[in-house]
Structure 1
Amino acid sequence: MRAHPSPTVGEALVTMLEQAGVDTVFGIPGVHTIELYRGLAASSIRHITPRHEQGAGFMADGYARVSGRPGVCFVITGPGLTNTLTAMAQARADSIPMLVISGVNATATLGKGRGHLHELPDQAALARTVALWSHTLSDPAQLAATLARAFTVMTGGRPGPVHIEIPIDVMKLPAGAQSFKMPEPERPHPTAADLTSAIDLCAKAQNPVILIGGGAVGHRDRLRAFGQALDAPVVSTTNARGIMTGDELDVPASPSLFCVRELLLRSDLVLALGTELGPTDCDMYENGGFALPAPLIRVDIDADQLSRSASPSLAIRADLGAFIDDMLDRADAWRRLASNTGAKRAQAVRDLAKTEIGAKYRGYTELVAEIWQALPEATLVGDSTQLVYAGNMYIEAPRQTAWFNSATGFGTLGYAAPAVIGAALGHPGRPAVALLGDGGFQFTLAELGSARDCDADVAFLVWNNSGYHEIETSMTSADMTPIGVTPSAPDFSAVAAAYGLPSRRVTSRDALILALKDLPRPCLIEYLEPSA
């Protein structure tokens, strides 16, 4: 039996995570992390075991998006971390807070290259390529300070993944008497000069437009009040869908569409709030047609982001909520009482967008709407597949974070199957539906077993068009003979049955909706496209 005068580092870490409000950890135990699990087994924290560490990261991502709290992973040294890097990169691209805690080889062996189990030349440096911060905990007395800094970095500015590695010998050491306090990150307000300039530009504008990104999540009521005061249509990129739903100023359409670009170009002020203005949101078809007029106000928590993608007339580094609060406090100086054209302009673009996306995509978005009619509280988590591409162009999500996917930003295949489990666990009581392609689903097919293990309230909807249809189309359009785009698929129903999940194969949309209503979850539904 162990005999220490104080908890070990591994035990103290788990206690501190509890104090930080962590209720779920995703990971696969290994010989290099068992000392973390000593504390975890005795804690109130729920442990979810994926089938692959990449799945752990994607589960943490989905959990973080719907819960508003960082997702946490425990992974082993070497391959455990490298398997998680893809998920960390997706989280970095989409600004999702994720805490990855890994083992690393014993302190005396680091950097020696002697061939120890799971050894890497410099594991922390590898993590640093995608993490906002990566740190090796070598001194047990620094545990509380290290964890506090991790939460500060992860949530105090532009969110993203952070990494702490603990040598396997350090995990066992006494942590000593340490007091952990959850940090309260600064909420930076705009400077008085920036606020004065923003008020002046808003007061002069006759046709303003607001463009919001994922950084606007959590500011629903503020944004609605701000949009109404400014009488400005509010265009939502993919990760902001649902924030403005039901508001007459809502434009839930991609800036990649011509009609949205026209709205922006014909405005006399654009406020880009919490968006990186990235190509996968604003130039999905890569035709170079996205442009913003002057004047342009950009507001972002990340100072570096303000100088990327578009040069603003006014760049304001501030917490978005603080910026809007400060503007609303001074609304009498800029509120527009005349014209009231914002709702009409928004309605016109909504109508044009539905036409512009074409009959095929319009049909897909109507099916997505039927899914929400069948499961009104559902969170829809997408991979790269037809329903998702259509919805990213135009979708009226019922609320914020009810629609998210990996088809923008880093663009990972295999994301949705594990992320949907994290989403369901992050908001108990709300079902979650994964929108999957038959090709991409095979990246993480084994996570069906994880859903069964934790009895997740999820439905895996497999859109089977017999391969990588988008890539095949792109090859054909490039006057190439398609190759490598028709990987064989398993009998998905048989695989689901092997994991103990009910399933149904359908060939009509009515049957698909009926299956969503009828099947107990977790379940799998395979939809065979008529052309497949």
Structure 2
Amino acid sequence: MTTKTVGEALVDLLEANGVDVVFGIPGVHTVELYRGLAASKIRHITPRHEQGAGFMADGYARVSGKPGVALVITGPGLTNIITAMAQARQDSIPMLVISGVNRRDSLGHGRGLLHELPDQQGMMKTLALYSQTLLNPADLPSVMERAFAVLLSGRPGPVHIEIPTDVMALPIDVGQLRAAVGTRPRADSETLQKAAILCANAVSPVILLGGGAITAEEEIRALAEALGAPVVMTTNARGMLAGSPLRVPASPSLKAVRKLLASADLVLAIGTEFGPTDYDMNVDNGFPNLKNLIRIDIDAAQLARGPHASLALLSSAKTATAGMVSFLQGQKANGSGGPDRAAAARRAAQHELSPKMLAELAVIDTIYRTLPGVTIVGDSTQAVYAGNLYCDAPRPRSWFNSATGYGTLGYAPPAATGAALAQPGAPVVCLAGDGGFQFSLSEIGAAVDSGVKVIFLVWNNDGYQEIENFMLDASIVPEGVKPSAPDFVAIAGAYGIPASRLANVYELPGALAEANDRTGPSLIEIHQTRTKGATV
């Protein structure tokens, strides 16, 4: 047994659970948690705002597949990160937030201490999957084990641990450290066989993927090929089945995709909650009633929500699809014409897009063609909305953004930094509008400090163009939608990073290639009307 402080033991337990990066801004209420950090193998990244720490942890988690970890101070540090936690909750992203809280004898008394909240843990319990106050130092190993077990077992999301300031420096006897073990739900063999038989008997099956399917790419590809089923991907599943003739990288909000689903005699939905930000982007209530639906989800509560399924499997995507594939081996499925049905849906989906959206998608395609291995991290901005409708990403985890789920602004700059830290050396493009970029403009500094290869691609349309269009469509005189933007190129220069403003979109490949040759961040600005070819 070795005696350490709670803060030192916390760092050891993070290391034992495979954590190699943490994001945070130290303060007087967390300094004791930093006591052992410098001597550890964990890298600390300092954002410019705690919300940035949360978004960085989110981006890191999406690319690495591991929980993103943030350290924040009591009170304002925690309330600042709540927005990022809410985005992670909506998109099922594993995030561990460790915060301080005031000393134990003050909790609930309202004595006006620095950073005091009426009931900090009570507030967090409404958002986090699990929230625990560490009152006894000896409980630290079990609390940490429980937190990681929650992160690794069920539907992912944010988890919170708070440590009172008077507990952080207390001694704790540390024995052998062990990593938490996650246990995913697994459907029984009989139910898997039943699902496989139903799928094999279908003549025109379709597979529908959400973000919960992303860990099962290999198994789902094998299942789709065995069934001859087109595969529709929501935003967080884009890049799966890349290159396959069965892929349909288009939103279920599009009429062409809805027609494909409506004509199917069976739909197998894997890891998707059927939320309106994916299935009803235009709020037209036009998503069809599916005739024969099989659902696979890791969350029992999600399976209990609509739409109604003929058969529901509580299981991780990987184990369920692997089990179904094993039952289909040696059997001939009835499905036919899958590649043709998928190709027709792809063509029809593209025809639905406006010329303006097609111009925006051309920019996204240019990024993927120019930078092999790139990940595009998007904000809530017009080019990203177009990509969410149709984006043929080259691999899983290479396209994600905040324009679904909770729908935050300012997500992309810090999330791109987190993504780049998860894949050192590989390029990451942060695609953000001028309005959203200003929410977290200072996080350029964190990218500079960490030396990551992030290319900040600013889509400048002089304000909140999407909201202005919405107001005009509703016969409302636009107000508040023209915030002035700074000179982004000059700001990049102030941070010491190279920057350029494009006169023509044809200049984009060259600008991207130059940025990719650098070791640190860069900035490129495209103006919707002043950059020729950016729009129609």
Measured against the shorter chain, the TM-score band is over 0.9
Q: Secondary structure at the match of 1:425?
A: helix
CA distances 1:149-190 after superposition (whole Å, capped 9, x unpaired): 101111201011100000011111111134432122223221
1:459 to 2:458 alignment: no
In 1, distance between residues paired with 2:41 and 2:476?
A: 56
1:408 to 2:407 alignment: no
Among 349, 360, 365, the residue aligned to 1:364? 360
5+ unaligned residues in a row in structure 1: which ranges? none
CA distances 1:476-523 after superposition (whole Å, capped 9, x unpaired): 000010000000011111111111111111131112332111233401
1:417 to 2:416 alignment: no
Q: What is the identity, as a one-letter code, of the residue corresponding to 1:147? A: M
Among 229, 247, 272, the residue aligned to 2:226? 229
Counterparts of 1:198-237 in structure 2 under 5 Å?
198-237=195-234
Structure 1 match to 2:351: 355
Structure 2 match to 1:241: 238
In 2, distance between residues paired with 1:489 and 1:162?
A: 36
In 2, distance between residues paired with 1:39 and 1:215?
A: 35
Conserved 8 A contact 2:424-2:452: no
Conserved 8 A contact 2:502-2:524: yes
Q: Secondary structure at the match of 2:3?
A: coil
Among 309, 315, 318, the residue aligned to 1:318? 315
Among 92, 96, 101, the residue aligned to 1:99? 96
1:492 to 2:491 alignment: no
In 2, distance between residues paired with 1:179 and 1:170?
A: 21
Q: Secondary structure at the match of 1:363?
A: helix
Count of residues paired in the alignment: 528
The alignment's TM-score, normalised by the length of structure 1, stands at 0.97
In 2, distance between residues paired with 1:334 and 1:175?
A: 59
CA distances 1:181-230 after superposition (whole Å, capped 9, x unpaired): 21222232212442243133213210000000001112111010000111
CA distances 1:86-122 after superposition (whole Å, capped 9, x unpaired): 0000000110000000000001111110000000011
Q: CA RMSD in A?
A: 1.4
In 2, distance between residues paired with 1:265 and 1:403?
A: 27
Stretch moving more, 343-352 or 124-133: 124-133
In 2, distance between residues paired with 1:235 and 1:514?
A: 33
Q: Secondary structure at the match of 1:44?
A: coil
Q: What is the identity, as a one-letter code, of the residue corresponding to 2:78? A: L
Report sequence identity in percent. Answer: 57
Q: What is the identity, as a one-letter code, of the residue corresponding to 2:308? A: S
1:527 to 2:526 alignment: yes
Structure 2 match to 1:146: 143
Q: What is the identity, as a one-letter code, of the residue corresponding to 2:120? A: Q
Among 370, 381, 388, the residue aligned to 2:384? 388
Structure 2 match to 1:264: 261
Q: Secondary structure at the match of 1:186?
A: coil
Q: CA deviation at 1:372?
A: 1.1
Counterparts of 1:105-144 in structure 2 under 5 Å?
105-144=102-141
Conserved 8 A contact 1:253-1:394: yes
Conserved 8 A contact 2:488-2:525: yes
Conserved 8 A contact 1:148-1:180: no
CA distances 1:227-270 after superposition (whole Å, capped 9, x unpaired): 01111000000000001111111000000000000000000000
Counterparts of 1:155-166 in structure 2 under 5 Å?
155-166=152-163
In 2, distance between residues paired with 1:334 and 1:264?
A: 25
Among 272, 275, 295, the residue aligned to 1:275? 272
In 1, distance between residues paired with 2:2 and 2:413?
A: 44
Counterparts of 1:439-518 in structure 2 under 5 Å?
439-518=435-514
Q: CA deviation at 1:340?
A: 2.8
Q: What is the identity, as a one-letter code, of the residue corresponding to 1:412? A: T
In 2, distance between residues paired with 1:187 and 1:487?
A: 47
5+ unaligned residues in a row in structure 2: which ranges? 532-536
Structure 2 match to 1:287: 284
1:89 to 2:86 alignment: yes
Structure 2 match to 1:9: 6
Q: What is the identity, as a one-letter code, of the residue corresponding to 1:507? A: A
Against the structure 1 CA distance between its residues 334 and 198, is the aligned structure 2 distance closer, same or farther, given a 3 Å change threshold? farther
Against the structure 1 CA distance between its residues 340 and 203, is the aligned structure 2 distance closer, same or farther, given a 3 Å change threshold? closer
Q: Secondary structure at the match of 1:380?
A: strand
Q: CA deviation at 1:5?
A: 6.7
The alignment's TM-score, normalised by the length of structure 2, stands at 0.96
Q: What is the identity, as a one-letter code, of the residue corresponding to 1:399? A: R
